[in-house]
Amino acid sequence: MNNNVCFNVLSLNVRGFRDLNKRKSIFTWVRNGKADIIFLQETYSTSDVIDSWKYQWPEDMYYSHGSNHSKGFLVLIRETFQFELKSIKKDTQGRLDIVDALVQECPVLLINIYAPNKTNEATDSYENLQSTLLESDYDQDYRIVIGGDFNAPLNFQLDSYGSKTEKREVVTKIRELKLDFNLVDRGW
């Protein structure tokens, strides 16, 4: 196994991706960037649009649908990136994807999350993720990368532009998840 895995990840809430011009702009911006793995949330994807999106992004694309007005995910992989898909787990609400892959010959879980806005639903969502990971057969060799829209500021001074509440219960659940799986916040 390669212990020196190094790659760049970008996570972006696109707040709707069905508009052709917006989608082209984002795909172009992502292609010109340095990210190897791109997490997109709130794509508003449905089964009827995916074929045209795949045409616009011919590289690896993994998705989970929401509706044409909410939710939905894309995980985009840069073509030149050493990546081998093993499996994908999706929730039924369009709020969580777990991509199990070999990245540069190292086992990695790529988790794309779009947490609910309501505190009790978000808390349940993080508890479910924690249970899923604890009950899974992933061993300690796995690296875990979580990206997405957490809908809760981990650092209220830095992460809460426009937010009025701290959502302490949700932040506590996220911190428990970080501790249980030795995760580090690399967001900036």
CATH number at residue 64: 3.60.10.10
| Total domains present in the chain | 1
What pTM did the predictor assign? 0.88
Look at residue 37 and tell me if it is in a domain.
Answer: yes
Look at residue 87 and tell me if it is in a domain.
Answer: yes
Look at residue 187 and tell me if it is in a domain.
Answer: no
Token code pair at residue 2: 């390669």
How far is 176 from 161, CA to CA, in rounded Å? 24
- CB-side neighbour CA atoms (13 Å) of 151: 20
Look at residue 1 and tell me if it is in a domain.
Answer: no
Look at residue 185 and tell me if it is in a domain.
Answer: no
Look at residue 4 and tell me if it is in a domain.
Answer: no
What are the pLDDT tens digits along the chain (188 aa)? 455 778 999 999 999 999 999 999 999 999 999 999 999 999 998 889 999 999 999 999 998 888 888 888 899 999 889 999 999 998 877 788 999 999 999 999 999 999 998 999 999 999 999 998 888 877 778 899 999 998 887 765 555 555 555 578 898 999 999 999 999 887 65
How far is 58 from 41, CA to CA, in rounded Å? 19
How far is 44 from 142, CA to CA, in rounded Å? 30
- Cβ atoms of 107 and 142 within 8 Å: the answer is yes
Whole domain around residue 72: which residue ranges? 9-180
Look at residue 188 and tell me if it is in a domain.
Answer: no
Q: What is the DSSP letter of 159?
A: H
Look at residue 151 and tell me if it is in a domain.
Answer: yes
